[in-house]
Structure 1
């Protein structure tokens, strides 16, 4: 019986790691730097895996490399294999060390301020020696991390249904509002129109987020372009400090300001902007005991979070 070419001993795990890095970095130089190897070594390894497969995985150009249709397909499988190996190693360690496992959770603005800290606190009460690693990034970057097994789950806004290898579970629904500091000139004024706010500085979500696209559509419906005086960020620490120190107007999920008397929500309706906060998981991987424990804490915490008035 003929041995499949990928199982004949020539393909190494370093090849899979390299293909993943090349796909994310977009250059051989960037991938080599990430993996701490020389550029010639990275190029040689890429030639090796292309020779094994018999097809080109990347097209070389003046600005870097672009995955071919073969490269896109193989990268997806390479990440799945790497994710399974990462999960297997951690699962064995957790079984051996009982309550001393590790869970890696990715998050972005809509999941990081209230829900996740409370859930981690509850988890640590029950499992004090379980390590929780929190990674904050854009939703798109976190999905790549989840696909490659570098994070176990993502907590944040759900912008798509389950599918394409991902399972999404809703934890709660939340509205989005315009927020200023409590001492802002507009904080106590009723009947504010969106037009009045266009003269103020704004904080908008990053252009890579679904919320940003919805805010842009809101402006367009009212005949406005983007505010010229603006900051774009998904860092809550940056948003909060700017709110407290300036006259800026920010677009934020309602729960973020719920327990902070220094901030106020303006009475400007943003319907239909709102969102569901929940979990994004890999549909193809078995969760570790540590990940299951964090998910249970997240679900319990979310059930006790009444929607803001």
Structure 2
């Protein structure tokens, strides 16, 4: 019968998300379709792919290497299909880009406006999401590049182009009881309730790591959000005693109205914002030009890295 392409997609999605339900939601298919696809694939290749437990789906040892090879092959096939489709349609180009909501206005919008002026026939497909979803989409070949906070260690299958530095800070509503403490310490947050992104998002891991370094338990997350850039976060914060994390640049906008940063060194996290691409995959000319425009946009921003980083997609 042979291996079905959609079964490979199901396998890669479950490997990325760790759960069948999350993979089904990401692919917009039913959970039984995912389960049946995994069963077909395991029967076809002759070995189990996952160890199933209450914590989710963990790759078997042999499936880890299988994932690396099939992920690269699937991405290459997606590129080939896209290239052929563009040639068939006579399209001048399609830019597929993923962007963190925090940097859509600051980086994506100015670079896209400049691109439209230079290439008015070019089309843009935008994915607006948090880091974990963007990196998963990039690995699957669904986007050409992502613009987001760079992970502390760049995964070996990806490469990064640093653009600028930004800082996150812990925030609360104005007149929050924590703000009245004369010498605020990390230990004062032990009883706090939090509003944070999901556990796979880098900002959430930064908070958890900082608390762990102080010998404190993980944050008690009362509200888990998939987008920390919208007005909903502000509305929840100003009407409660929840603690959250926010970009310093975002705090200075309307989304930060009524909020204040916690005044202690341990409540601030410096990070680098950049563009991620797949290593060894040549970028389409349109995506390459967009990267150059992102660099120009970032140089005009406070906190620009000014680094002469190697351009992605050139080997």
- Is the TM value for this pair above 0.5? yes
1:288-303 aligned within 5 A: 288-303=284-299
Residues 166 and 174 of structure 1, relative CA distance in 2, 3 Å threshold: same
Residues 118 and 193 of structure 1, relative CA distance in 2, 3 Å threshold: farther
Q: Distance in 1 between matches of 2:202 and 2:223?
A: 17
Deviations 1:262-300 (A, max 9, x none): 254443333672101111110021111232232222211
Q: Secondary structure at the match of 1:273?
A: strand
Residues 33 and 178 of structure 1, relative CA distance in 2, 3 Å threshold: closer
Partner of 1:123: 115
1:88 is displaced (CA, Å) by 2.4
1:105 is displaced (CA, Å) by 2.0
Q: Structure 1 residues 270-279 or 152-161, which shifts more?
A: 270-279
TM-score normalised by length of structure 1: 0.73
Deviations 1:102-151 (A, max 9, x none): 22222335544532333333333333443322324443343232122112
Residues 78 and 229 of structure 1, relative CA distance in 2, 3 Å threshold: closer
- Whether the 8 Å contact between 1:106 and 1:153 is mirrored in structure 2 is yes
Q: Choose 1 or 2 for highest CA Rg.
A: 1
Q: Distance in 1 between matches of 2:19 and 2:297?
A: 40
Q: Distance in 2 between matches of 1:179 and 1:247?
A: 10
Q: For structure 2, list consecutive stretches of 5 or more residues without a partner in the other structure.
A: 305-315
1:250-265 aligned within 5 A: 250-260=244-254, 262=257, 263-265=259-261
Number of residue pairs matched?
A: 293
Q: Secondary structure at the match of 1:133?
A: strand
Equivalent residue for 1:58, pick from 40, 49, 53: 49
- Whether the 8 Å contact between 1:91 and 1:289 is mirrored in structure 2 is no
Q: CA RMSD in A?
A: 4.1
Q: Secondary structure at the match of 2:156?
A: coil
